[in-house]
Structure 1
Amino acid sequence: MKWISLLGATGSIGTQTLDVIRNHPDDFKLAAFSAGRNIDGAKKIIREFQPEFVSVAEKAGCDRLRTEFGSAVTFGHGEEGLVEAAVYPKADMLVNAVLGSVGLLPTLQAIEAGKTIAIANKETLVTAGHLVMEEARRHQVDILPIDSEHAAIFQCLQGENKDEVKRLIITASGGSFRDLSREELAHVMVKDALNHPNWSMGAKITIDSATMMNKGLEVIEAHWLFDLPFEQIDTILHRESIVHSLVEFRDNSVKAQLGTPDMRIPIQYALSYPNRMALPGSNRLDLAEIGQLHFQKMDKARFYCLKLAYEAGKIGGSMPTVLNAANEAAVTAFLEEKIPFLRIEQLIEKALARHNGIKHPDLETIQSIDAETRSFVRSLISF
């Protein structure tokens, strides 16, 4: 039996994690979870999974839940509650599925508490990968990737010598606007951007997929997870989202991990690692039925956010913190229909250009830079 603490339980990855737990009641139990502002969603999870601790964003929501469930469950709220859920003593593993850099502090605290980390919150590693991986090594804690691309690379590397890896090849669907020109992108609307061709995801990550920033963040995340330089991490456009990523070795052989676009597969692999389990309700991959798989070179002039991510990652230090914070602020503005689509990349570029990088920032410095960058981007939006 493995006890799970789940941050972001009502989001896309969170609900699919709950589905995995639901399908294997003798193997996994939910010890604690966070649910942001989705109080009704939290109530349903409490009734079904009977966790011991629950955290929500605000005290008012916490009070509502406490009134309904009494002392049967312990409740918390805010950042303190998020951390308490992450380090909950009964939990063996933290599944970090929250959105944005809010996942950083709970992850660091859970590492210090000796929890295995299953991470779907890429912003944690983008914002402070050096701190996270240093702490993981110091406390001998495993960081297991949930993103389908990183889970694919992780599986391809099983039984292999990392020194024999020539490069990682991360696949990208191209997102909602993969067939549009730069000129056509100037006129796209929020509802169009949220219509992803392959995956069902939350709003922010769907926009990141459309700008290709999602792939840029994954490149930076892969750098930290697999300890390889950016020169050995490539991206390739793959429309079908069947090949989730590839690893090329020094003898020019290539291993790929394939599967249907179902996030429960990498989630379950992280929860059950190093073993595999049956996955009820998942469709088998039928290559004969698919017939063809398509691949295309990535155009960084077309997908400018990917270019910015590579540049920020190579500079390192505090620059990826700025990249992520500026992107989050700009995407929020786009979703609120305050800026056009191409303005996202322009705001990110302005934030990066004005920042004087810090080589090895500590947590306090990272948090300060994150907050200052968001404020700067919002100031540009207000004009």
Structure 2
Amino acid sequence: MRRVLVLGSTGSIGKQTLEVARRAPQHLQIVGLATYCDYKTLQAQAAEWQVSLLGLVEPPANEPHDHLYVGVEGLCAMVQRDEVDVVVVALGGAIALLPTLAALEAGKTVALATKEVLVAGGAIVMETAQRHNATLLPIDSEHSGAFQAMLAGKPDQVARLILTASGGPFRTRPLETFDTITVAEALQHPNWSMGRKITVDSATMMNKGLEVIEAQWLFGLRLEQVEVLIHPQSIVHALVEFVDGSVVAQLSVPDMRLPIQYALLYPERIDSQLPRLRLEQVGQLTFETPDPARYTCLALAYEAARIGGTMPAVMNAANEVAVRAFLNEQIRFTDIPRWVEATMHAHTPAPPTLENVLAADAWARAWLTARL
């Protein structure tokens, strides 16, 4: 029995994690729940799962919360509790960095869904996991697929990793109409059920840029070894090419509950009770190179990774602010990459120490917020 704490339990990944636990009561026990500010949903989840280990980043002002772990510091204390074996990190954004480090320092297994953790603090996170002999497993479908495919060889035998992307809702939309894209249109992902922020990131393909950086750290790859292909069917999640020319791919129906279950139970496998892949029904699998004019955020992510230091943290923070502004209808869809690029150009990168990463993240948020 694995005892699981879910950070971000009221979000899309968090709720799907609880669905996985409901289907596997002999294997998984939910022992703690935390979220950003949705206290009402958190209370309902706590009642269902009969847990008292609860946390909120921002507690309600008019309700008693003495029984809660509060703020980032509270979440850091939660993840280190003795009754926790596995910490699911599904809090959106770089705010999840410190709780992730705290869990790894306590030797917990971390099932990581939050891309921004490794984007902002990859070197620090991987060093912490190694130093404390802690296990870090990916929940992202692409990284889960890559992890599984890489088991076919040794790490030093990997020549290339290909991450796939659906292309989002605007893969074939005329470029001249991008200035008129609405929030509602951007949130209509063709294949996946996800939260609002990551759905917009999928439309700009910033999510794939974040995943490229994340893959570097998770698998110890050079930037030039990680490539992206558009695969509209979202059936092939990752492909690993080995030095002999063999390519191993991981395929499944596009359902986040499968990589969540894999991470929670690794290395065991049980019946997921999910729909099975029927290739004869899919019919055709297609792949294409991303159009740089359509997906400018992908190029910005590669640029940030090449520059290194604190630049990925700044790029990520600027994207979070810009996406929030778009969702609040303060800026246009096409303004997202423009503001991210402007923030990157205004930043002088520093070595990626924890102090510098946190300072760069705060600087980028303040710099861009002041200009929107």
- What is the TM-score when the length of structure 1 is the normalising length? 0.95
Tell me, in whole angstroms, the C-alpha distance in 2 between the residues paired with 1:257 and 1:229: 21
CA displacement 1:223-272 (0-9 Å, x = unmatched): 00000001000000000100011101111111100000110000000011
Among 138, 163, 172, the residue aligned to 1:170: 163
Equivalent position amino acid for 2:184 in 1? K
Query: What whole-Å deviation, never above 9, does each CA across 1:305-361 have from its counterpart, x for those lacking one?
Result: 000100111111101011100000000000000000110000011111111111x32
Matches of 1:22 and 1:64, distance apart in 2:
30
Q: Encode CA deviations 1:1-46: one digit per residue, 9 max, x unaligned.
A: 1101110001000001001111111211111110222122112211
Larger deviation: 172-181 or 1-10? 172-181
| Cα deviation 1:199-231 (Å, max 9, x = unaligned) | 111000000000000000000000000000010
How far has the Cα of 1:126 moved from its partner?
0.2
Match of 2:54 in 1: 54
CA distance in 2, matches of 1:61, 1:292: 53
**RMSD value, Cα:** 1.3
Hey, which bits of structure 1, 4+ residues long, moved more than 6 A? none
Mapping of 1:217-228 within 5 angstroms? 217-228=210-221
Question: Equivalents in 2 of 1:62, 1:30: separation in Å?
Answer: 28
1:149 Cα shift?
A: 0.2
Aligned to 1:24: 24
Q: Secondary structure at the match of 2:281?
A: helix
Structure 1 residues 61, 37: CA separation in 2 closer, same or farther (over 3 Å shift)? Answer: farther
* Cα deviation, residue 169, structure 1: 0.2
Alignment of 1:120-269 (within 5 A): 120-269=113-262
- Shift, 1:61, TM fit: 6.5
Q: The residue matched to 2:371 in structure 1 has which SS?
A: helix
From 61, 69, 90, the counterpart of 1:97: 90
Preserved contact between residue 123 and residue 352 of structure 2 (Cα < 8 Å): no
Task: Indicate yes or no: 2:370 matched with 1:370.
Answer: no
Does the 8 A contact of 2:37 with 2:59 survive in 1?
no
Distance 1:261 1:64, change over 3 A: farther
- Between Structure 1 and Structure 2, how many residues are aligned? 372
The two structures have a TM-score, normalised by structure 2, of 0.97
Conserved in 2, the CA contact under 8 Å of 1:39 and 1:61? no
Write the letter of the residue equivalent to 2:186. A
Q: Percent identity?
A: 48
1:319 counterpart = 2:311: yes
Cα-to-partner distance string for 1:116-156 (whole Å, 9 max, x where unaligned): 11100010000000000011111111110000000000000
Structure 1 145/61 Cα, relative in aligned 2: closer, same or farther at 3 Å?
farther
CA distance in 2, matches of 1:41, 1:257: 35
Unaligned runs of 5+ in 2: none
CA distance in 2 between partners of 1:44 and 1:62 (Å): 18
Q: Which runs of 5+ in 1 are unaligned?
A: 67-73
CA distance in 1, matches of 2:152, 2:287: 27
Native 8 Å contact 1:62 1:77 kept in 2 = no
